[in-house]
Amino acid sequence: MNSGLTDKNNNVIKIQLNIDGIPLYNSSSIQFWPILARSLNFINKEPFVIAIYSGTAKPEPLSEYLNSFVEETMHLLNSKFKYLNKTYEFEVECFTCDAPARSYLKQIKGHNSKSACERCTVTSLYENKKHFYPTRDPMYLIYLGVVKRLLVMYWIEGKRPMKIPKFSLQVINNKIRNMKKIHTNRVHKKN
């Protein structure tokens, strides 16, 4: 382990986790649901397998599929371990899952359902084969609607004189990165 660490002085092992369903064959319903991990602390940053479920459907019950993984992860998070006279801590840096896997793991409705938002209780209305949100919340009306369209259509992909020069985009991106360091990426809302 010591020979594989990128920083020999670092005693925190950060792990990135991924859980997702993978169809095994095009003509079969058999699928794998692996739990994968990787650490950026190690020279070899390739993902490694923690566990794999195989079946013709998603793992059911979900609690049985995740139980051993959650117990072991909690044990590692709550205790330190020694290796070659050095004490290490374990930290989960992030989970990376696509929208369907995330909704399955959280046991919430899918990303294209009536109650699709993971962070609020807004329910969409369905009309003319489209879901729309009746809220007057600026998050949906401005930041994820008009402003996003303006940024992409005119300022990023548009033509002069509306298009923002690459240098200015880099300045904006740097400012956003600096803001990310001091602000959380979660939006907590009450409706």
Give the pLDDT score at 59: 92
Please give the C-alpha separations between residue 45 and each of 2, 15, 40, in angstroms, as whole numbers.
15, 10, 6
On the question of pLDDT at 117 being above 50, the answer is: yes
What pLDDT, on the 0 to 100 scale, is given for residue 5? 67
Question: End of a domain among 62, 85, 107?
Answer: 107
Reference 94, options 7, 187, 181, 185; nearest CA is 185
Q: What range defines the domain where residue 20 resides?
A: 2-107
For 66-76, write each residue's pLDDT tens digit: 999 999 999 98
Distance CA 17, CA 48 (A): 10
Residue the block writes with tokens 């382990």? 1
| pTM of the complete model | 0.61
Q: Are residues 15 and 103 in the same domain?
A: yes
Alpha carbons 155 and 163: distance in angstroms, whole number: 4
Mean pLDDT of 33-49: 89
Please give the backbone phi and psi of residue 84, each rounded to the nearest 5 degrees, phi first.
50, 50
Domain co-membership, 9 together with 103: yes
User: Which of these ranges, 12-16, 105-109, 150-154, has the smallest mean pLDDT?
Assistant: 150-154
The pLDDT-based confidence of 140 (bands split at 50, 70, 90) is: low
Confidence of residue 81 (pLDDT cuts 50, 70, 90): confident
Same domain? For 99 and 170 the reply is no
What would the mean pLDDT of 101-114 be, rounded to a whole number? 81
Residues 28 and 92 in one domain: yes
Inform me whether the pLDDT recorded for 6 exceeds 90: no
Give percent of the chain with pLDDT exceeding 70.
Answer: 83
pLDDT at residue 53 greater than cutoff 90: yes
**Domain tally, the chain:** 2
What value does the mean pLDDT take over residues 160-177?
85
Asked whether residue 179 falls in the same domain as residue 126, the answer is: yes
35: its two tokens = 């739990």
Q: 19: exposed, middle or buried (C-beta count within 10 Å: 0-12, 13-18, 19+)?
A: buried
CA-atom Rg of the chain in angstroms: 22
For residues 28 and 64, state if they share a domain: yes
- Mean pLDDT, residues 150-165: 80
Q: Are 24 and 50 in contact (CB under 8 A)?
A: no
Residues 6+ apart with CB under 8 A from 51: 34, 35, 68, 69
pLDDT of residue 191: 45
Average of per-residue pLDDT across 88-100: 89
